[in-house]
Structure 1
Amino acid sequence: MGGNAFNAILQSAAFPRLPPVVYHALKARLQPKIEQLYHLVTVPVEAPEKTDYGDLDFLVVGAKLDAIGDENDAMTDGRINVSHERVLECIGAKYMNPMDGNRTSNFAVPVSKGEWDNLGHGKDELERRKVTEDGEIYYQVDVHVCTNKPEWERIRLFHSYGDFGMILGLLVRNTGMKLGEKGLEMPIPNHPPFKLSDSFDEILPFLGLSKADHEEGFQTKREIFEWVSKLKYFDLSTFRSEGPGITKVKAERKMYAQFVDWVKEKQLAMGVSTPTEGSSHSERRQQMKDDALAFFHKQEDYDTRMRELSQFATAQSVRARLKERFTGNTIQEWIGLPGHWRRTKQIMDALRLQVGGEEGILDILEQDGEDELKKLVLEIQGALPS
């Protein structure tokens, strides 16, 4: 069932699954209308072999000047967009769940009575109306406003063919990388990931996949499964669909689940009952990492990032270790002036300057001992003006 965005005001039965002919007729009717509002409008290519459809999803970018209205059209981040009210009116929606900025807004478009008759599904329409409280049913139409054309292209590809992007993301996750709407990234534990590329024109060739094949299209889900399994670093013996690092996927992602079952059948056929990650798997992950940094010309940037993180971690460690052994209270105790925080700061600043910062203080503590540091503090205290 669609209509999850409107659970607060409409029952889920008010958003029936759509027969293919109804879905495609709706798309053909609404896309020209939305094209009056935005320069680029598309619906990601649907998964093959579908027997029915839920929501109709539009990706848009670039509001047309003549579609922009009054102050209600100004987005919260300062950019200008078509107002939600204008979109609602344009597609004939009755309700909406508006989201500002680079987000997806949901619209509930009423199904006119008898609308499915000419499409050969008049009886289906009547049956779907019977299970609602007021006999009214709706199409859920989602409009995702993209920031720019590159993002529009990425999302269009990633969300094509149903769960295609999720499946490809799962395969890439098994290699230690991360692939999503924002592109290909290299995870760094406890830190934001390192961006390798946000262009699928670069990413697919790196993965050993042909973008031309993707654009030519797939007639069956099996064709998609076969194509993504050509991924250069895919290894049946270590493939996992759950466990550490793998995001749990909702049960309704049927195509994704079918792919996992397809892989498991192949694993059983080659005698793999339990995927294992041995030294060879670690070597392959490292090889992919090295290949990626070379392919995307990111080695220097990555080394710089890791150096910065190492320096930051060292500084944090120094501060933590120093805090355990040396504080302002320690200085006050040594100089015999409890509560004199201004004097304490003067001594601490002079000490840092003299020994090379907090690392220098820690070196004295760990190499020469507390007595030597106390001696230095007292010397500084004596040298400072009273």
Structure 2
Amino acid sequence: MGGNAFTSGPTPLTTPRMPPRLYYSLRDHYLSLLFPLYEEVATPVEAPSKTSYGDIDVLVSQPKSPSTETLAKALSAVRTCTTSGSSTSSFALPYPGRADAYVQLDIHLCPPGTFRWQLFHQSHGDLWNLLGTTIRPFGITANNAGLHLRIPEIEELNRKRGMLFLTREPDEVLDFLGLDADVYGRPFESGEAMYEFVVGCRFFRGDRYVRDELKSNDRKRMAQRDLYRRFVDELLTANVAIVKTRGERVPGFMREDVQEAALERWEKRGEFEGRVEEWRRERRELLDKQNGRQKRKNDALEVEEYVGAWVRWLGGDGAVE
């Protein structure tokens, strides 16, 4: 929540940003308190070059029966915030050395089987925002549930049904994208190092990041996410020649090429074709129903016109005296 879960309402709390040394100290302390309460506990790898932190994000899974009250007590929280339907709970904790300030700790409970993927997907801050801009035009989407292939014929009318799950294995995803798993597993030393990693994706194309041609969500990221903005406005602008040279070295992938590669890699062709056939069958049935309704409507209009004609005839010259 960016450290803003407790800053509004009738009794707002002050949650100042934390310098790196304090952040890492508190992060490790609270992780040690959470380890006994869950089977899996970790924080995503932090974004590079951060000079301060608004909150502490922790991913957990398989609780050993802790409730929000149990967590609050274990963490010595002064206030909690849980939104209905959300898997994230926020805790206001004492800010060391400041009686009037608090640290926000967000604990996100991962659904069964997703902890490793979510830890992977949420690491390095804006990295997946940048990679998303690269892979999205090729029909590939990564979200908290895993990597998906979007089925063109279906997504035009129903984006959710058009998503075909591929995998949530991090190493498989990185290999498919042509990225180094060892590099991904470590913090990037700088924003530039992370940018170089993004440019190394085998599907990378610099023209996806032209400011005036960005999708609406990416334009929002430009305004709200400094690492994303710097990549578009500074790195690509300053390294046009490098990006262009790399673009000339890699194959000119089309969406169909990437789709075929994904279907083959994860043996999803049967499911893909089955999904398309089911969609087409449903569309045909829907069209038949619509045509049936239209025919009944037309038939009713014909009857109405026929009756009207008879009424007019009987009331006019055709009337029998």
> Shared topology, TM-score over 0.5?
yes
Residue 49 of structure 2: aligned partner: 49
Q: What are the equivalent positions in structure 2 for 1:86-235 lying under 5 Å apart?
A: 86-99=70-83, 103-112=87-96, 115=97, 136-148=100-112, 150-187=113-150, 188-191=155-158, 192=161, 193-235=163-205
Q: How far apart are residue 268 of structure 1 and its match? A: 4.6
Give the superposed CA RMSD: 2.9
Q: How far apart are residue 92 of structure 1 and its match? A: 0.9
Change (3 A) 1:103 1:313: same
Distance 2:243 2:145 in 1: 36
State the AA in 2 paired with 1:41. V
* Unaligned 5+ runs, structure 1: 69-81, 116-124, 126-134, 273-279, 337-386
**1:2–1:16 contact (8 Å) kept in structure 2:** no
TM-score of the superposed pair, with normalisation by structure 2:
0.80
State the AA in 2 paired with 1:145. L
Q: What are the equivalent positions in structure 2 for 1:245-284 lying under 5 Å apart?
A: 246-250=217-221, 251-262=223-234, 264-265=236-237, 268-269=240-241, 284=254
State the AA in 2 paired with 1:53. Y
Change (3 A) 1:162 1:212: same
* Unaligned 5+ runs, structure 2: 245-250, 307-321
**1:95–1:109 contact (8 Å) kept in structure 2:** yes
Change (3 A) 1:53 1:169: same
Q: How far apart are residue 322 of structure 1 and its match? A: 2.3
Residue 15 of structure 1: aligned partner: 15
Match of 1:289 among 237, 256, 259: 259
- Higher gyration radius (CA): 1
Q: What are the equivalent positions in structure 2 for 1:351-362 lying under 5 Å apart?
A: none
State the AA in 2 paired with 1:8. G
TM-score of the superposed pair, with normalisation by structure 1:
0.67
Q: What are the equivalent positions in structure 2 for 1:307-318 lying under 5 Å apart?
A: 307-318=277-288
Q: What percent of counterpart residues are identical?
A: 27
Q: How far apart are residue 293 of structure 1 and its match? A: 1.1
| Greater relative CO (CA pairs within 8 A, separation 6+) | 2
Distance 1:257 1:214 in 2: 21
Post-superposition CA distance 1:50-84 (Å, at most 9, x none) = 111110011011112xxx3xxxxxxxxxxxxx210
Distance 1:49 1:245 in 2: 26
Q: How far apart are residue 10 of structure 1 and its match? A: 4.6
Distance 1:271 1:21 in 2: 36
Distance 1:183 1:19 in 2: 32
Change (3 A) 1:111 1:44: same
Change (3 A) 1:142 1:289: same
Comparing 28-37 with 94-103, which one deviates more in the overlay?
94-103
